[in-house]
Amino acid sequence: MRPTHLFLIIMPILALSACSGDGLDDLKQFVNESGEGLRGKIEPLPEIKPYESFAYHAFDLPDPFKPRKLQPGQGGGLQPDLKRNKEELEKYPLENLKMVGFLEQNKVRYGLIRTSDGSLHRVKIGEHMGQNFGMITKITDNEIIMTEVVQDSTGNWIEQNTSINLASAPGQK
């Protein structure tokens, strides 16, 4: 046999015999010791309660997501005077009216109101303004207090108090 053939046969035998040694005892011992306390404990599954079905029986009730229509009031209560001639400031919503001052003449106090179109009006207690049948009840240095007549959600007319505060001059806070 040629020496190269002999070399090719002997080399794998030597390599296999080198691996057959039992020098792995310390490695096997380490693996066994390190894995001893690592066993996890799995808790049992929770008890499953049976499903109880729900029957919806509210189809005949009003839909809470649809707007309610105002029903006419029961009558006999507070009513706005619809026959009264409207005053000039009743065509403006209160948001478009600003109190810019007041004056007193012959012991009668007047409020000065500026409209959104820039016109200036003088008002006194008992006059009306705003689109909700508002009647002026008091004029102070800082505000005009009024009582409005509005419909509530049931269609009945109710009174509510509101006020227009004195507007600050441009450039002031």
Residue pLDDT, tens place only, 99-148? 999 999 999 999 999 999 999 999 999 999 999 999 999 999 999 999 99
Q: What is the pLDDT of residue 20?
A: 62
Residue pLDDT, tens place only, 3-35? 787 778 888 787 777 666 666 778 888 888 877
Over its C-alpha atoms, the chain yields an Rg (Å, rounded) of: 46
Reply yes or no on whether the pLDDT at 71 is more than 70: no
Architecture of domain 88-165: Roll (2.30)
Mark out the alpha helices in 20-74 (DSSP H runs): 25-34
Query: Are 120 and 39 spatial neighbours (Cβ–Cβ below 8 Å)?
Result: no
What is the residue extent of each domain of the chain?
Answer: 88-165
Residue pLDDT, tens place only, 148-160? 999 887 778 899 9
pLDDT interval class at 40 (50, 70, 90) = confident
Over residues 46-66, mean pLDDT: 86
Q: What is the pLDDT of residue 109?
A: 94
- Coil, strand, or helix at residue 95? helix
Amino acid sitting at position 89: L
Over residues 48-75, mean pLDDT: 77
Reply yes or no on whether the pLDDT at 1 is more than 70: no
Going by C-alpha positions, the residue among 150, 154, 132 that lies closest to residue 68 is 154
Q: What is the pLDDT of residue 88?
A: 93
Beta strands in the chain (DSSP E): 98-105, 108-114, 120-123, 128-129, 134-139, 143-151, 157-165
Instruction: Give me the chain's average pLDDT, please.
Output: 84
Q: What is the pLDDT of residue 21?
A: 60
